[in-house]
Amino acid sequence: MTQRSASTYNLPLHTGFYPPPPDQTARRPASSVTSRSTTNRRHRSSRSHSGGASYRLQNEFPNFAQTGDVEIIINAEGQEKRYMLHRLILAQCSGFFEASTSEDWSRAHTDGATPTVNGNGLNRIGEEDEYGGKAGRPPFAVTPQDRQRWRYEVDWGNKDDEVPMLVQKPIPSTLFGGDHTYRPPAVPTKPPPPSNSFFRSFTAMQSAANIPHQAPENDLIRDYDNLFRIFYNYSPNLDPVNIAESYIQCKSLLNLADMYDALEVVGPRIDHHLLQFQSRLWKQIAKYPPSYLKLGYLARSKVIFAEALIHVVGQWPSGASQLRHHVPDAVLDLIEDKVEDLAEAKLKAEGKLFRLTLNTARGDRVTPANSYMDWLALKK
């Protein structure tokens, strides 16, 4: 084989210079770079910093964060409970909310000029997007911030004898000019990982030993919670065992419902709860008839009111002091009419008994022949 020189193939004679190696990244397809970076970004977006589960806003009682438009804050003795409810349901169940959220009396705040996206105040800056409208949403889109909203807080008044009542308050504004809407804690969409029974029981015992004793729920907060539970067709949390304690809770709840013009909705629930005590209820009514008469009237309970009315009329006027200025005059008039009817019925019954048992000194039945004057008295 003939040895050929480098000049034959027009190769450079100096061998000390070599072209630099091509960039390694340049030889990779562009699609691989894009797919890898996209995959990494997709993986990072699905991560959660709160236990590994994705979270969403709660939208159920008592906090309808997505659809609610009435925020209610109950404060009592250092305890606080918040609600995000619907104006439509509150207005249907309560005359107070129907009037206070009407166009004439409401202080509702509408923020339609400064829309937001997912509650982020930075998105309020007037930037244009591909839709030609505000950045972050298509034109004519309605966000929760565009809806009319109301806010209520408990007002304790300036005097000790004043009854605390909900008062409508203006919705506070945020730093960026929007409305501050209460957002409840997020609710996990995935259940926690399962564990064996021994681990669960051991953890439960350990956590129960470490949990500090919580103060009992305030009576006012309990009454408002039961009121709103009934509005949303939930059973109220009333004592199902102790009838005396249950009476106190029912009476307090009825007074609250009367203050907000919601007796038509709350009354049947109270009636259903008390009638479950059966014989114990009748004993309590016979023992405290004036108290249960007032309760039966507020609850619109025909059974409880009629049973208590029988005992009140039979003991009248011993319970008059407990009923005057506590029940309407129509109820007092009804009691007095029943007392008169009872007195007439007693006279008739006594007259019949007298005619049946009137005898002469010898024990014979009175007749015109043996005792004419007594016989005339019987005929009258």
Query: Tens place of pLDDT for every residue, the chain, 380 residues?
Result: 445 554 544 545 544 444 555 555 445 554 444 444 444 444 444 444 444 444 567 789 999 999 999 999 999 888 999 999 999 999 999 999 999 998 877 555 444 434 443 444 434 444 444 444 444 444 444 455 557 789 999 998 877 778 899 999 888 765 444 555 555 544 444 555 555 555 555 555 555 455 454 567 789 999 999 999 999 999 999 999 999 999 999 999 999 999 999 999 999 999 999 999 999 999 999 999 999 999 999 999 999 999 999 999 999 988 888 898 888 999 999 999 999 999 999 988 887 777 777 777 777 777 778 877 777 776 66
Query: What contacts 255, CB < 8 A, 6 or more positions away?
Result: 298
How far apart CA 157 and CA 35 sit, in angstroms, is 65
132: left (phi over 0), alpha (psi -120 to 50) or beta: left
Query: How far, in Å, are 301, 313, 351, 353, 355 from residue 348 at the CA level?
Result: 32, 18, 5, 9, 11
Spatial CA neighbour of 60 closest among 76, 78, 83: 83
* 350-365 per-residue burial string, b: 16 or more CB within 10 A, e: under 16: eeeeeeeeeeeeeeee
- List beta partners, residue 81: 74
In degrees rounded to 5, what are phi and psi of residue 229? -65, -40
239-247 long-range CB contacts below 8 Å, 24 or more apart? 240/273, 240/276, 243/274, 243/277, 243/280, 243/281, 243/284, 244/284, 246/273, 246/274, 246/277, 247/274, 247/284, 247/291, 247/292, 247/295
88: left (phi over 0), alpha (psi -120 to 50) or beta: alpha
Spatial CA neighbour of 121 closest among 174, 71, 69: 174
What is the per-residue pLDDT for 199? Answer: 52
